[in-house]
């Protein structure tokens, strides 16, 4: 089933009046997941479709609020990043630190001097990343 139809079903919308708006939200979410999170999702995978539709539905229903993403979506996004793998993360800076910062920069990889790991703050969680063939990726092993 197409993501737009899943979103409309979840919202109880049967007309096409909001299709353009919902499609714009879907496109924005897909671009965010690809460009910011580095996720390459399969449009034919029902788990991926369901996550996108739930994320889009939350965006639609919370368009005027500044609340954080619900924990269930955060956990599912983090699991997707781990299981699907995240490739070509946007990295603007690499910073050597002794302790991970309380307020991290979004596009910064932190090289932790105590263990030599590279970590990014992704989806409200510290995540180990690595540089593979010139691209930053979430470590999946």
Q: Give per-residue pLDDT as tens, 104-125.
A: 998 899 999 999 999 998 877 8
For 41-53, b where at least 16 C-beta lie within 10 A, e where not — what string?
beeeeeebbebbb
Distance, in Å, from the CA atom of 47 to the CA atom of 115, rounded to the nearest integer, reads: 35
Do the Cβ atoms of 103 and 118 come closer than 8 Å? Answer: no
**Domain regions of the chain by residue span:** 3-84, 93-138
Q: What is the pLDDT of residues 64-91, one digit of tens each?
A: 888 788 999 999 988 887 776 666 678 8
Give the Cα separation of 93 and 76 in Å (integer).
Answer: 27
pTM: 0.63
């Amino acid at each position: 089933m197409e993501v737009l139809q899943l979103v409309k079903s979840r919202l109880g919308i049967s007309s096409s009046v909001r299709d353009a708006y919902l499609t714009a939200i879907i496109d924005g979410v897909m671009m965010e997941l690809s460009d910011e999170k580095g996720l390459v999702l399969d449009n034919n995978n029902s788990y991926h479709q369901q996550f996108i539709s739930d994320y889009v539905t939350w965006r639609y229903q919370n368009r005027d609020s500044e609340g954080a993403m619900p924990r269930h979506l955060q956990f599912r996004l983090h699991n997707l990043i781990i299981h699907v793998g995240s490739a070509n993360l946007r990295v603007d800076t690499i910073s050597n630190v002794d302790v991970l910062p309380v307020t991290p920069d979004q596009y910064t990889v932190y090289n932790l001097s105590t263990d030599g790991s590279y970590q990014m703050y992704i989806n409200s969680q510290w995540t180990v990343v690595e540089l593979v063939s010139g691209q930053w990726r979430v470590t999946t092993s």
